[in-house]
Structure 1
Amino acid sequence: MWRNYWTVAVRALAKSKTYSIINIAGLAIGMAACIMILLYIRYEQSYDKWIPDAENTYQFQTFGKNPDTGEEFAFQMASYTTKERIEKDFPQVENGAYILGTEPVFLKDGQATATEDYKYADEDFLKVVNLPLVAGTTLTAPQTGVVTQSEAMRRYGTEDVVGKTLTVISRGIKRDFKITGVLKDVPKNSHMKINAILRLDMAAFFKDDPFFLSCWGCQSGWVYLKLKPGTDAKKLEAQLPAWEKRNIPDEDTGGIKFNQGDFQEWKFTNVSDIHLGEAKDGEMTPSNEQQTITTFAIIAALILGMAVVNFTNLATARASQRAREVALRKVLGANRKQLIIQFVGESILISAASMLLALALVELLVKPFAAFLDADLQLHYLGSGGILLPAIGLTLAVGIVSGLYPAFFLSRFQPAQVLKANRSAAETPGSGRLRAALVVLQFAVSIGLIICTAVIYGQTVYARSVDPGYKRDHILQVDELARAQLWDTGESIVERMKRVPGVTAVGRTDIGVNTSNNNNNFIIPPGSTKQILIGQYNVDEGFFDAMGLTMKAGRWFDPNRPMDDMTTPFPTDVEVEKALTARGVNVVLNEYAVRQLGFKSPQDAVGKTVRSEMFSPDTGITDVHIIGVVGDTRFRSVRTPIDPIMFRNVNKGPAWMIVRYDGDPATVRSAVEREWKQITNEVPFNAEFSEDVMKELYEAEDARAQMFAAFSMLAVVIGCLGLFGLAAFTAERRTKEIGIRKVLGARTRDIVQLLVWQFSRPVIVANIIAWPAAWWLMRDWLNQFDDRIDLGPAPFVVAALVALTIAIVTVISHAFKVARANPIHALRYE
């Protein structure tokens, strides 16, 4: 019996080649897309699950809300003091460690080179996060370090580096660390980015900035905690409000008391949940969102569902070709159960052939797909991450689901009705309505995905082109300027850079194009006791022209006016700071800060005095005079709200140098680098063009958008395949009807219009379904951006026209073929 089923199935597929090719190709594309998305989802969900004892390893994260703007923040970072207080108050914490992101200068044989992803730790970090060692031991004492295999090869040309001395320059001091171990390279599916971990005494490291060690509002590093086995992190979180009250002291700003715990809270986040978690600020590597993963899972289901719909539509449409076969089998004694098994078996056979083709496609595409996403996607068939069992399950599920309805539909034909008077059972009542509904559903999905793709593309283009409030092109942004080695030479560096051919302006700043630092401070408006949180950044006199800002009112800083200068010595000199506090300072605000402080306009703000703590808490409150207002500037992503900013004129210490230039970018960069190397051989040159910074800023987002577009197009292709097959069978079934119409005087154009209209109606109905759903989804997606495009009618109209065009182009070839046929050939049988 089974042999007979197999033979009949193969013959049926061979007889209807178009049907077989369309079904197998459609299912193969759908399955391949599902497997690729499955690999992507598995990869995204695998982050840090490879860490030994990951279930007991947590990151202490900071959450809160700006009390003035309502803007929420979620930092993966936490202040240094939280780690000590958590360890002291919670015996459930087995070990804790604080790591500080840093990029010291690597020194070897008198040559200074830049470092990347070096971390300073206050304790033995590897006892908290069990990163695998391939040689040596953990960080047993201060002034010891571990490096990864790649970093060892990069710096020493060998992995055999245990016992060697690693020398770096940090905060102007040369520091030696004994390498005690070699780490296995941290894989890509980790929230951590580490090339070396160096243990030091944090109190000694910050002896010139002791406020850092006790500051509750400073998020500059990461706190990791190893909880004892069996500890419920949620129960610990429930105790944190009481912990805050016990530990966080009240602060006094101008006679106004406040507590950092009033607008901050902390959470324990398991390391395996960080990548897809809530906290996105202060991350080591670009994170992702659970919403994105869910979206791609839904797209995978939709693509596969459309392929299954194709199968069902084509199977019911070609029922006339199988009706007599079913009738004869029933006459010869076959029961309905046997027929259902036969047709489901055929469906599983098609599904199996499709899966083989899908796996071949995945083998070809997985490496380019992984390279595109910069992800370490692995295709294994066996083992815990193998796809063989999921592939078999998917084959059976698709085969059974896609074959069940056609099996029940075909097996219910009555032999007497089919065989008498040469009658066909092709159009069983209700089957035409079902196919119409499924075609509408397919096009609704396709139109919805086209709309979403158009909106995402439009927002991506807008993000790159929207006016940021400064002249974003022709900027070379130079890092490393904050090195202590360059503290006293910053002004001379600027003067030398101004003489470089092609350079038109040079300025220094603590905030530039997508710089990651955040520095906020409370400002007290005149005549008020309310404290307003404002971003506070150091710049020099040249920053205005170098960045290309717009002055709205007042003036910029003037080097000839001593009140404009807030420069203090390094290390900190409290007496100098107290003198500046008593004197008062001049600042420039942006328009958003003016609005936050309650002024009616930029002109209204100029000349007014606010109050703030400009230096360390020991120096007290000072008068802050507003001398100018510049336009709002967007230095970061359009996802991030514009900051209210206070610019302070400081001529020593800003971290970046902004070089505005004309002419050839490469020539200017080379000339600037030559000048730099003549100034210092202890600080490596590190510079990026603003265009490259913006490209990196939106790189991950662009990749996800392109991936979404690609899979959306696959859904459209699958829909076209089904429509093509359905149109072919429909045209074939209506051959005699068309012949009669032509005999009665219908023109070819009339016949084409008739058939095209038949398949255009579902597109029109599909729009009614797709538009509201796409509008709702895209409205919520766009709301994630602080600056976004308007959700106008253009994407919806374009999607409708594209879908209609696709339907017409797909159907029209069959329509012309049938419409131009000689009616004699269609009617001579009669």
Structure 2
Amino acid sequence: MWRNYLTVGLRALSKNKVYAVVNILGLAIGLAACLLILLYVRYERSYDEWLPGNDRIYQFQSTYQSKTTSDHFENQGAPYVTKAALLKDFPQIEHATYFGGGVRVTLLKDGRAYTTDDAGLTDSPFFDVLPLPMARGDHQALVQPGTVALSESQATKLFGTTDIIGRTLTAMAMGVKADYRITAVFKDLPKNSHLAIDTLIRADFPSLYAQGHNAEFLTQWGWTGGWVYVKLRPGVDVAALNTQMTAWEKRNIPDTYDEGKPQNIGDERDYALVNVRDVHLGKAQRAAMTTGNDSATIATFAIVALLILAMACMNFTNLATARASQRAREVALRKVLGATRRQLVTQFLGESMLLAALSMLAALAFTEVALPWFAQFLDADLELHYLGRDGMLVPVLALIVLVGAAGGIYPALYLSRFEPARVLKANKSASEAEGSGRLRSGLVILQFAVSIGLMICTAVVYGQTLYARNLDPGYDREGLVQVSGISSEAFEGRQEALIRSVKALPGVENAGRTGIAVNTDNTSSTTVRVTGRSDPVDIGIYSADPGYFPTMGIRTLVGRTFDRNRPADDMTTPFPEVPAAEKALAARGANVVINEAGVKRLGFASPQAALGKTLRYGTKDEYGGSMLLTIIGVVADSRFRPINTPIEPILFYWNDNSAHWLVARFKGDPAKVSADIERIWRSMAPDVAFGARFADQILERGYRRMEARGQMFALFALLAIIVGCLGLFGLAAFTAERRTKEIGIRKVLGARTGNIVRLLIWQFARPVVVANVIAWPIAWWVMRDWLNQFDARMALGPLPFVAAGLLALAIAVVTIGGHAFRVARTNPVHALRYE
């Protein structure tokens, strides 16, 4: 019986080659898209699963919610002091470690300074918590201070080999240079990890931070400069631990006092343990080591892939019901000869499974060919395995069954219900078998609604990308270079000389120092009080010297910026702190500049109204006392962060000790300017790594993720259009075949070729028009929510919707136009001989 079913199925496919090709190709495209996205989703959800014991390893995250504003963010980092407090209060924690240090680490080798964002300090045996895979050495490598572990790539870069156990590496942090003994080389971390580490330095934190005059970092609850990880004992309920965090905060975070009133930083912060497998797709993406993702994006692409697969199944249903008339007599004869409806359903479902299996073979071939490109495009280690833990054999077989059943169940039920008497009676034509075209029209409408919706999404994403590129950031991004590391102690007392030397270079027009530059990750905020008001206000606070604003090209709206000839503008005091100098500064006060967002945050009606107003900064109980700040100018808002981050209200002050970046404005060859600045840099501080970044390149990297999302939507839209057009072409071919006699009669009665072409085109163009009515509101709702995540966004006008609708209509017309023209030109004699 099964052999007979297979024979009949293969004969049916070979007899209708157009039907077979359209269905197999359409299903193959849908299945290939589904397989690629399945691999991508599985990859995104596999982050850090490679870590042994990952179910017990947690990152300690913090959440900030301002009491006075709507400022809110989830932070993967945590203050250093939290680690000791966790170990003290929670015996459920087996081990804990800290990584980061809040400082820039410079590696020194052969007279050259190297720096990397992936180097950091640790205060304890790091591998007890995070057992990274080892290339050389073991997990006891960082038991003692004064040791260091390198990744394979870092070891090869510095030493040319990984056989370096026992050798010495010199590193500098906070101006403190020390030698560290290399005790391990760990394997390069895979891409599916939220960790980004190439150098782990086991330091003596109290001694190092005391030498670096930064001992406060170890005790401050408001300073986040690294990551805390814990390993729980077996069987611990992490949800129960997280419920105790509020009480833990109250026990450990001390009160501070403002004019005698107690305040607690814990009132604006919450803490929680998050499993390492959930970090990559978690809510906290601030202070992340690597670029994370979000579950909504993953779910969106998965849904789109399923929609394309559903479109392919619709093609199968559409074409199977359209050609039902050709198999009506076959069904009737089988019933007369004793076939039951169950047997017929089984036969047609079997044919559907056969078609799905053939399509899957083609889909696997497409996937194998496209996977290297797809993996490179996503910068992901995607691999297709059929067997093993990550094998795709089971999903492949499941998809064959699901797709075969989904695409074949309705045609099987539809074909098997034909009544033999009605079909076989002498005056009943096979082409007149019962059946309405409403279902087929409905499926075509759904197919093109999906295609139009994806085209709209693609247009909006690309439109927002272009909008972001052309948006005025509030500064001149052309010819702007920034260099980090100017706050190093190696430049102490020589920063001004460095600025003068840079400004004297050919092509350099201006230079300055700052605590905030283009897309820097640092965040600094404080609380001030407007004179005459009692409520405190949170506002960002960053340093800027007199050269910063003209170098950046930031416009002054009212008042002025800092002037070297006005001592009251300068808040720089000796470092380390000298009590007398701090008290003198607090007593005399200082001048500050705010941006437009700062005007609104502080509650002033306009920039002009803010000019000359005073703010109270600090508390009477703090070291040096509180200080009166006078607003001397208001500058235009500048977008230093990505476009999805709101513009920060900022208070600029001039303090050279807090300036971490050198910025320079230039004309000419960027490479030459960078080389000239590096030459001066190395002549003054050879132990400080040099790393120049150009503003336009920084912004370009910021747009890549948005562009990648747009390209993904464009790819899916193209696949959806191809699948939809395949179905439309096949449906048009069968419909034209059924209307051959009608077309012949129309031509005999005088209809012209153009009339018949328009008739056939309109029959299939009408569902596309209706599809727009469905797709437009859904796409508008989805893209409106997507655009709302951006602080600045394009207007969601009618152009993407109208353009997508017209493009879909044009594609449909082109798809069926050629076929309609060929049918319309057929000789009526042949058409009337059809029966």
TM-score by length of 1: 0.97
The residue that corresponds to 2:812 in the other structure is 807
Paired residues of 1:490 and 1:652 also in contact (CA < 8 A): no
Task: Please list the CA deviations of residues 499-520 of structure 1 after superposition, one character each: whole Å capped at 9, or x if unmatched.
Answer: 2221111111111110000010
Going from structure 1 to structure 2, the CA distance change for 1:535 and 1:13 (only over 3 Å counts) comes to same
C-alpha distance in structure 2 between counterparts of 1:593 and 1:192, whole Å: 35
TM alignment of 1:539-688, pairs within 5 A = 539-613=544-618, 617-688=622-693
Paired residues of 2:456 and 2:804 also in contact (CA < 8 A): yes
C-alpha distance in structure 2 between counterparts of 1:367 and 1:53, whole Å: 31
C-alpha distance in structure 2 between counterparts of 1:745 and 1:317, whole Å: 28
Which secondary structure state, in structure 2, belongs to the residue aligned with residue 684 of structure 1? coil
The residue that corresponds to 2:147 in the other structure is 144
Offset at 1:498? 1.0
Moved more, 309-318 or 654-663: 654-663
Offset at 1:436? 0.9
Alignment of 1:127 with 2:132, yes or no, is no
The residue that corresponds to 1:516 in the other structure is 521
Instruction: Give the residue type in structure 1 aligned to 2:483.
Output: V
Offset at 1:756? 1.4
Going from structure 1 to structure 2, the CA distance change for 1:747 and 1:106 (only over 3 Å counts) comes to same
Offset at 1:733? 1.1
The residue that corresponds to 1:204 in the other structure is 207
Task: Please list the CA deviations of residues 610-640 of structure 1 after superposition, one character each: whole Å capped at 9, or x if unmatched.
Answer: 0112999422210111111101111011111
Offset at 1:672? 2.7
Going from structure 1 to structure 2, the CA distance change for 1:543 and 1:616 (only over 3 Å counts) comes to farther
RMSD after superposition:
1.8
Paired residues of 2:259 and 2:620 also in contact (CA < 8 A): no
TM alignment of 1:218-257, pairs within 5 A = 218-257=223-262
Which secondary structure state, in structure 2, belongs to the residue aligned with residue 36 of structure 1? helix
Going from structure 1 to structure 2, the CA distance change for 1:809 and 1:235 (only over 3 Å counts) comes to same
Paired residues of 1:312 and 1:402 also in contact (CA < 8 A): yes
The residue that corresponds to 1:280 in the other structure is 285
The residue that corresponds to 2:322 in the other structure is 317
Identify the match of residue 699 of structure 2 among 688, 694, 700. Answer: 694
C-alpha distance in structure 2 between counterparts of 1:653 and 1:601, whole Å: 29
Identify the match of residue 164 of structure 1 among 164, 167, 183. Answer: 167
Give the percent of matched residue pairs that are identical in Structure 1 and Structure 2. Answer: 54
Task: Please list the CA deviations of residues 659-713 of structure 1 after superposition, one character each: whole Å capped at 9, or x if unmatched.
Answer: 1112232333333333333333222321111111012223233223311221222
Paired residues of 1:96 and 1:226 also in contact (CA < 8 A): yes
C-alpha distance in structure 1 between counterparts of 2:736 and 2:258, whole Å: 82
Task: Please list the CA deviations of residues 22-55 of structure 1 after superposition, one character each: whole Å capped at 9, or x if unmatched.
Answer: 1111111111101100110011000011111111
Offset at 1:298? 0.5
Identify the match of residue 366 of structure 2 among 338, 353, 361. Answer: 361
Paired residues of 1:488 and 1:652 also in contact (CA < 8 A): no
Task: Please list the CA deviations of residues 296-330 of structure 1 after superposition, one character each: whole Å capped at 9, or x if unmatched.
Answer: 11011101000000011011111122222222333
C-alpha distance in structure 1 between counterparts of 2:76 and 2:124, whole Å: 19
Offset at 1:763? 1.5
Offset at 1:255? 4.8
The residue that corresponds to 2:409 in the other structure is 404
Offset at 1:652? 4.2
C-alpha distance in structure 2 between counterparts of 1:35 and 1:233, whole Å: 35
The residue that corresponds to 1:41 in the other structure is 41
Alignment of 1:55 with 2:55, yes or no, is yes
Identify the match of residue 177 of structure 2 among 174, 179, 183. Answer: 174
Task: Please list the CA deviations of residues 67-115 of structure 1 after superposition, one character each: whole Å capped at 9, or x if unmatched.
Answer: 3331211100111111111111111111111211554221123332233
Which secondary structure state, in structure 1, belongs to the residue aligned with residue 425 of structure 2? helix
The residue that corresponds to 1:74 in the other structure is 74
Which secondary structure state, in structure 2, belongs to the residue aligned with residue 572 of structure 1? coil
Alignment of 1:535 with 2:540, yes or no, is yes
C-alpha distance in structure 2 between counterparts of 1:439 and 1:614, whole Å: 69
Offset at 1:4? 2.3
Going from structure 1 to structure 2, the CA distance change for 1:377 and 1:574 (only over 3 Å counts) comes to farther
C-alpha distance in structure 2 between counterparts of 1:322 and 1:509, whole Å: 78
Going from structure 1 to structure 2, the CA distance change for 1:384 and 1:426 (only over 3 Å counts) comes to farther
Task: Please list the CA deviations of residues 149-200 of structure 1 after superposition, one character each: whole Å capped at 9, or x if unmatched.
Answer: 2222221122222211121122112111112222122111010100011111
C-alpha distance in structure 2 between counterparts of 1:477 and 1:588, whole Å: 21
Paired residues of 1:323 and 1:413 also in contact (CA < 8 A): yes
The residue that corresponds to 1:734 in the other structure is 739
Instruction: Give the residue type in structure 2 aligned to 1:144.
Output: T
Paired residues of 1:68 and 1:596 also in contact (CA < 8 A): no
Task: Please list the CA deviations of residues 548-584 of structure 1 after superposition, one character each: whole Å capped at 9, or x if unmatched.
Answer: 1010111010001111111123333333222211221
C-alpha distance in structure 2 between counterparts of 1:452 and 1:161, whole Å: 52
Offset at 1:425? 4.8
Which secondary structure state, in structure 2, belongs to the residue aligned with residue 242 of structure 1? helix
TM alignment of 1:414-429, pairs within 5 A = 414-421=419-426, 423-426=428-431, 429=434
C-alpha distance in structure 1 between counterparts of 2:796 and 2:372, whole Å: 36
Moved more, 625-634 or 61-70: 61-70
- Between Structure 1 and Structure 2, how many residues are aligned? 830
Which secondary structure state, in structure 2, belongs to the residue aligned with residue 569 of structure 1? coil
C-alpha distance in structure 2 between counterparts of 1:687 and 1:202, whole Å: 30
Which secondary structure state, in structure 2, belongs to the residue aligned with residue 619 of structure 1? coil
Paired residues of 2:328 and 2:433 also in contact (CA < 8 A): no
- In structure 2, runs of 5+ residues without a counterpart are none
Offset at 1:138? 2.9
Offset at 1:428? 5.1
Offset at 1:331? 2.9
Paired residues of 2:60 and 2:273 also in contact (CA < 8 A): yes
Paired residues of 2:765 and 2:812 also in contact (CA < 8 A): yes
Paired residues of 1:318 and 1:426 also in contact (CA < 8 A): no
Instruction: Give the residue type in structure 1 aligned to 2:37.
Output: I
Identify the match of residue 378 of structure 1 among 376, 383, 408. Answer: 383
Offset at 1:487? 2.5
The residue that corresponds to 1:503 in the other structure is 508
Instruction: Give the residue type in structure 2 aligned to 1:641.
Output: P
Paired residues of 1:146 and 1:179 also in contact (CA < 8 A): yes
C-alpha distance in structure 2 between counterparts of 1:12 and 1:42, whole Å: 38
Identify the match of residue 458 of structure 2 among 453, 460, 464. Answer: 453
C-alpha distance in structure 1 between counterparts of 2:28 and 2:620, whole Å: 65
Task: Please list the CA deviations of residues 721-759 of structure 1 after superposition, one character each: whole Å capped at 9, or x if unmatched.
Answer: 111111111111111111212222222222122111111
Instruction: Give the residue type in structure 1 aligned to 2:129.
Output: V
C-alpha distance in structure 2 between counterparts of 1:682 and 1:432, whole Å: 78
Paired residues of 2:61 and 2:78 also in contact (CA < 8 A): yes
Instruction: Give the residue type in structure 2 aligned to 1:555.
Output: R
Which secondary structure state, in structure 2, belongs to the residue aligned with residue 34 of structure 1? helix
Paired residues of 1:253 and 1:612 also in contact (CA < 8 A): no
Alignment of 1:342 with 2:343, yes or no, is no
Moved more, 556-565 or 681-690: 681-690
C-alpha distance in structure 1 between counterparts of 2:346 and 2:617, whole Å: 81
Which secondary structure state, in structure 1, belongs to the residue aligned with residue 426 of structure 2? helix
Instruction: Give the residue type in structure 2 aligned to 1:111.
Output: R
Instruction: Give the residue type in structure 2 aligned to 1:780.
Output: D
The residue that corresponds to 1:292 in the other structure is 297
C-alpha distance in structure 2 between counterparts of 1:810 and 1:54, whole Å: 53
Which secondary structure state, in structure 1, belongs to the residue aligned with residue 623 of structure 2? helix
Paired residues of 1:319 and 1:425 also in contact (CA < 8 A): no
Alignment of 1:713 with 2:718, yes or no, is yes
C-alpha distance in structure 1 between counterparts of 2:543 and 2:206, whole Å: 26
Task: Please list the CA deviations of residues 524-570 of structure 1 after superposition, one character each: whole Å capped at 9, or x if unmatched.
Answer: 11111211111111111111111110101110100011111111233
